[in-house]
Structure 1
Amino acid sequence: MNAQVWSFPGGIHPPENKRQSTATPIQRPPLPRLLVLPLQQHIGAPALPCVEVGQRVLKGQMIAEPGSAISAALHAPTSGTVVALGEQPYPHASGLTAPAIVIDSDGQDEWAELAPCPEYASLSAVELLERIRHAGIAGLGGAGFPTAAKLATRPQDDLHTLVINGAECEPYISADDLLMRERAAELVQGIDILVHILQPEQVLIGIEDNKPEALAAVQAAIGERNVTLRAIPTKYPSGGERQLIQVLSGREVPSGGLPADIGMLCVNVGTTVAVADAVLRGRPLISRIATLTGAALERPCNVEALLGTPVGELLDFAGLDRSKLDRLILGGPLMGISLPSLDVPLIKTSNCLLAASATELPPAPPAMPCIRCGDCAQVCPASLLPQQLHYFALGAQHEQLQAHNLFDCIECGACAYVCPSSIPLVQYYRAAKADIRELQQRQLKAEQSRLRFEQRQDRLRREEEQRTVDRLARQERVARAQESEAKVEATVPAAQSVIERVKAEKAVGNAPDRLKRLKIEASMAQVALKKAEKQLASHDTEQLRAQVVELREAAGQVKAALAAAEAESHTAPAPLDNEATLKKARIDAAMARAQVKKSEKAFGESPTDEQRATLASLREDVERIERQLNELQGTAMPTEPKATQAVDGILALRQAKLVYIAQRDALRQAERDGASEEELGAVRQALAAAEAALHAAEDASGKAPPDLVRTDKHPMSATLRAARTELAYARADLKKLEREGAGNAALDTARARLQAAERAVADASGETP
């Protein structure tokens, strides 16, 4: 046995409490009447039922198929009838239900036909992985990752070391210890199969030195195989995957990475035995070894129980005294979860049921403020800063949490175990991880929605381009079929009709309706001209050139008429009409700005050439109306210089915003069009100048900054704050003396100090700050 081992940072040495459950061999409890089998007993997608209500199933028959590549099948633990498919109790602290299959046992325990493969060496790794996948094997050490998916990393990664995890470091749990004592030969068979699949250069087995019987049994079963067994020091959490790899090899798994990143793969001893059962004996995973322990049990022991067995029946088998039961924990006291009911079933990841009394595991005292003692950082096996993570978790500072490697936390509970302020640190970390994962899921969905929208826009754009091409092709065929004279005759009257309408508008007079109609005519003439120019650029013909000339002349005349009409409409009004004129100008300006915003929103970020021309025309109208409004304001209110100055400041700020938006849009369009660096540099300089002008306009607008008022929602007197601080120090000193094994005199002094501090806090709590 090679004694060379390394170590990992931090760690603690809590009381082991393992001997209670190792006094007897592995027991077999009675066959339960009802078995509840949740479809989600592993990491990944839940299994998919392949049976129906009323169907009879045999022991070992598949009743749910893997739901995806990261999933595990589910099999009937005994023969019986499927009586329900739906929501059932689930072993989780929330007490929520989950989809499950319920089997009513017939008591016959009749096996389905099995397909053992003792000559597995003749099979390829892919074939063996398929057998393991259909056997429903997931990690039995607590994580529950599908084993076939984990072993399939070999083709992608340069795997050189296989690590077998037999540390089992958490207090109370002894399931793996008894498994290695009684089934060491099956463990070695499973190792041989894994070696055949993975072809590693070396195999390392790590078992804590507080399990001498297991060490001896495994060493004897190994024989002459090229497998290295190492007895590692007893320290929690040496059973963590990353920590065990560091202890056995001296190598550290990188932050955010996996053991496969450094060419290593870690498998639990229970999972290894399940692989041997699946390949050599053809048995799927339908049972597991679990530890039943705690002061509320009369006969603590380890049992091989069928999956789906209600935990209440297992605890009754071990002599549960319900009057003593204060808390039922699934797992160990440090990483386990409290179960709200005895009706939940045993699942693949259930390695321990701890029925604790109130004296055995008393409730934690109320959490006090952090005193920054640093004990949590000293015991953290991942070299994190738990107190900083706690601070960031309280403030929901997700970026800081990820920057401080929150997801490297293995939630071992060592930090909370030594915290003198009794802060439930792990609960904060779990909640923060859940919030971050939820936020990432929302961001992923938003990104997927954005991609779908962009793809739809691209599809619509391509369809529109195709329709345009088809339309132009049809027009070209029509143009070739008709006589050029007919084209000219059809074009000239249209242009003359526009000119005639312009002349008619001139004779109407100075009415407001005339100006509105002229604007409509100008817009229509501009659109017709742009469309004709676009057709001319695609198909240069004599007829189209003549049409463009006529339309350009018509558009010029309409524009000239519109300019003349606007000049007439904005001549200096009579003194009594100044206010009405100014009001109308303001309404026109607001309507023009609203039209620009509406058009920008409708055209999107990628407008066509015609849409860009329309936007440019609308922006010119806004600038012209703004200039006219400024002139009217300068003449309408000469007796109010202060008000005019404030209005001018606001108008200047608004104009600066419009200029900045226009420059920003120009930069985006240049980037989309693939402009050169020189052109982009010029546009960026113009945008910077517009931004500076915007800031200057904001400073000159006269707007006062908002007042910031802070209120203390939780006031506290200085006396109460000092009393609480003294209480935290007193509690920390007492715990430190207890850990160091100080004498009775020192402990009595510390306890007296703690009692005095508690009375001081109680007295100060009634004061008003």
Structure 2
Amino acid sequence: MLKTFPKGGIHPAENKITSFKAIKRMQVPKVVYVPIAQHIGIPSEIVVDRKDKVEIGQVIAKSSGFVSSNIHSPVAGTVTKLDMMVDSSGYKKQCIVIRTDQKNESNFDIQDFPLKKEITMDQKDILQHITDSGIVGLGGATFPSHVKLDLKNDNHVDCLIINGVECEPYLTADHRLMLEKGEEIIVGIQILMQALHIKSAIIGIENNKKDAIKVLKNAAASDDRIKVAALRVKYPQGSEKQLIKSILKREVPKGGLPMDVGVIVHNVGTIFAIYQAIQYNQPLIERVVTVTGKKVEDASNFWVKIGTPIKDLVQEVGGLPDGTRKIVNGGPMMGKAIKNTDVPVTKGTSGILIIAQEEASRQESKNCIRCSNCVFVCPMGLEPHLLMNLSEKGLYERASAEDIMTCIECGSCSYVCPSHRPLLDYIRFGKNIVKKLQTVKN
């Protein structure tokens, strides 16, 4: 029987249009716009100035705290501006603008790298190299990877879980990476197991990716410490807490971390980035991005330099189709609409979803009919209808007491609401206010 988490969850249409599309390499853009806040935590500190020449992989913004991350130049070129520009959050953020030099082509082109299995670094060097390389969680959370791997003496971690679920509809970046770089992912897992002295690793993949399950089982066949777990197709299976529950039946405590139950979770994209950093000294300067939509002419997966304007990706798939209503950074469930296509690709950009008018238009919100559908599907056991009402009425202390901060913002509640109420919108708003209030109190 396929494993899954027991509480809540939904089955949205998969729409994996690009699952059979091999990853293409985007041309190096003429200009890149590199934000200095591409991770959870403190923004990086800029260490270059206007008119400076930079090389591919050079540090251009240094980590400015423990929960922070280095930023590297994805291209060789000249810094033209240190400017404020709107990023995918919709807010203006500090950004380093680099004009690309003609000499650029890319000593970091991964297509030229043969598989390298031998691991020559020791534990200390591996962890330092991950820190220096600016690697963050590529599943969307962008949590600095070196922080996750900073094990304290009182934390006993016995299992590494690799997240290959990719349960968001439309997105296929992880799926394609597993198919095309399966052996490298296995070596990346072995690197982390060596660094953390962990003897067990499990790769979780939903059963709609049977080809990826086969590829990774074959790649891991010679290492009996690494297993592949086929999971039932169920959203949000890729959430850390749900994935741990599905695979190990361990319950991460409220307000706790996977480490509290002896687990570290990393996305397959993060694992591949770690492989590249350790085996080939490549910092995180590019990632796989799915560019898709039902009416997109040539929806595909791409290797994309960090800082590439989204308009370049849109042009690559044939431009915006007639009747486009919305462009989403990420998937339809947890992604966020962007204001324009000048927004750059960041470390957390897993996909660009182009949605037509008929799909994007919201139906009129009506009164709650107390059907409890939102309660039944919430994977965290919350009452979304109540949390929306409390946020709408400004009752933030009560919302905090009702565990609003436990919400993982999966959007399952909004998806099933027959009254089309904007549950997630209000809960996100309430969470932001509660977080600010908690910060003031502390």
TM-score, structure 1 normalization: 0.55
Matches within 5 A, 1:148-159: 148-153=146-151, 155-159=153-157
Mapped partners of 1:362, 1:406: distance in 2: 27
Q: Which residue is 2:43 aligned to? A: 46
Deviations 1:381-407 (A, max 9, x none): 111111222222223223322222211
Q: Which residue is 1:350 aligned to? A: 349
Mapped partners of 2:154, 2:106: distance in 1: 38
What CA RMSD, in Å, does the superposition of the two structures yield over aligned residues? 1.9
Mapped partners of 2:405, 2:125: distance in 1: 35
**Residues 1:186 and 2:204 are matched in the alignment:** no
Mapped partners of 1:113, 1:216: distance in 2: 29
Q: Which residue is 2:239 aligned to? A: 240
Q: Which residue is 1:310 aligned to? A: 309
Deviations 1:359-396 (A, max 9, x none): 2x231112111111100011111111112222222232
- Report the Cα offset of residue 323 of structure 1: 2.6
Mapped partners of 1:202, 1:362: distance in 2: 43
SS in 2 for 1:305: strand
Which of 56-65 and 396-405 deviates more? 396-405
Contact 1:21 1:293 in 2 (8 A): yes
Mapped partners of 1:290, 1:352: distance in 2: 5
Mapped partners of 2:192, 2:118: distance in 1: 11
Deviations 1:654-690 (A, max 9, x none): xxxxxxxxxxxxxxxxxxxxxxxxxxxxxxxxxxxxx
How many residues align? The count is 436
The one-letter code sitting in structure 2 at the alignment partner of 1:37 is: V
Mapped partners of 1:189, 1:124: distance in 2: 15
SS in 2 for 1:326: strand
**Residues 1:228 and 2:227 are matched in the alignment:** yes
CA 1:339–1:373 in 2, change beyond 3 Å: closer, same or farther? same
Contact 1:9 1:383 in 2 (8 A): yes
**Residues 1:61 and 2:58 are matched in the alignment:** yes
Mapped partners of 1:83, 1:424: distance in 2: 42
Matches within 5 A, 1:312-327: 312-327=311-326
Q: Which residue is 1:15 aligned to? A: 13
**Residue in structure 2 matching 1:176, options 159, 165, 174:** 174
The one-letter code sitting in structure 2 at the alignment partner of 1:58 is: E
Using the aligned pairs only, state the percent identity.
36
SS in 1 for 2:421: coil
Superposition misfits of 4+ residues, deviation over 3 angstroms: 110-114, 118-124
Deviations 1:724-745 (A, max 9, x none): xxxxxxxxxxxxxxxxxxxxxx
Q: Which residue is 2:371 aligned to? A: 373
The one-letter code sitting in structure 1 at the alignment partner of 2:65 is: S
Q: Which residue is 2:406 aligned to? A: 408
The one-letter code sitting in structure 2 at the alignment partner of 1:104 is: R
Q: Which residue is 2:299 aligned to? A: 300
Contact 2:290 2:301 in 1 (8 A): yes
Q: Which residue is 1:97 aligned to? A: 92
Q: Which residue is 2:144 aligned to? A: 146
Mapped partners of 2:366, 2:235: distance in 1: 25
- Report the Cα offset of residue 300 of structure 1: 0.4
- Report the Cα offset of residue 127 of structure 1: 2.3
Matches within 5 A, 1:271-286: 271-286=270-285
Deviations 1:618-663 (A, max 9, x none): xxxxxxxxxxxxxxxxxxxxxxxxxxxxxxxxxxxxxxxxxxxxxx
Matches within 5 A, 1:585-664: none
Q: Which residue is 1:739 aligned to? A: none
- Report the Cα offset of residue 350 of structure 1: 0.4
The one-letter code sitting in structure 2 at the alignment partner of 1:101 is: I
| Structure 2 gap ranges (5+) | none
Q: Which residue is 1:265 aligned to? A: 264
- Report the Cα offset of residue 110 of structure 1: 5.6
Mapped partners of 2:20, 2:222: distance in 1: 31
| Structure 1 gap ranges (5+) | 445-769
- Report the Cα offset of residue 31 of structure 1: 1.5
Greater radius of gyration (CA)? 1
Which of 339-348 and 380-389 deviates more? 380-389
Mapped partners of 1:368, 1:159: distance in 2: 47
Q: Which residue is 2:438 aligned to? A: 440
Mapped partners of 1:391, 1:99: distance in 2: 35
Deviations 1:520-540 (A, max 9, x none): xxxxxxxxxxxxxxxxxxxxx
Contact 2:2 2:232 in 1 (8 A): no
Mapped partners of 2:105, 2:417: distance in 1: 53
Contact 1:6 1:250 in 2 (8 A): no
SS in 2 for 1:321: coil
Q: Which residue is 1:164 aligned to? A: 162
Mapped partners of 2:394, 2:130: distance in 1: 42
Mapped partners of 1:202, 1:150: distance in 2: 17
Contact 1:120 1:279 in 2 (8 A): no
| Greater fraction of residues in helix | 1
SS in 1 for 2:265: strand
Mapped partners of 1:11, 1:441: distance in 2: 31
SS in 2 for 1:108: helix
Contact 2:297 2:321 in 1 (8 A): no
Matches within 5 A, 1:423-572: 423-444=421-442
Mapped partners of 1:291, 1:121: distance in 2: 31
Contact 1:334 1:413 in 2 (8 A): yes
- Report the Cα offset of residue 219 of structure 1: 0.8
Mapped partners of 1:391, 1:4: distance in 2: 37
Mapped partners of 2:285, 2:271: distance in 1: 15
The one-letter code sitting in structure 2 at the alignment partner of 1:30 is: Q
Contact 1:6 1:249 in 2 (8 A): no
Contact 2:119 2:279 in 1 (8 A): no
Mapped partners of 2:140, 2:320: distance in 1: 27
Mapped partners of 2:329, 2:38: distance in 1: 14
SS in 1 for 2:324: coil
Deviations 1:197-247 (A, max 9, x none): 111242111000000111111111102211111110001110111101000
- Report the Cα offset of residue 133 of structure 1: 0.9
Deviations 1:140-196 (A, max 9, x none): 000000001111135441111110000000100000000000000110011001101
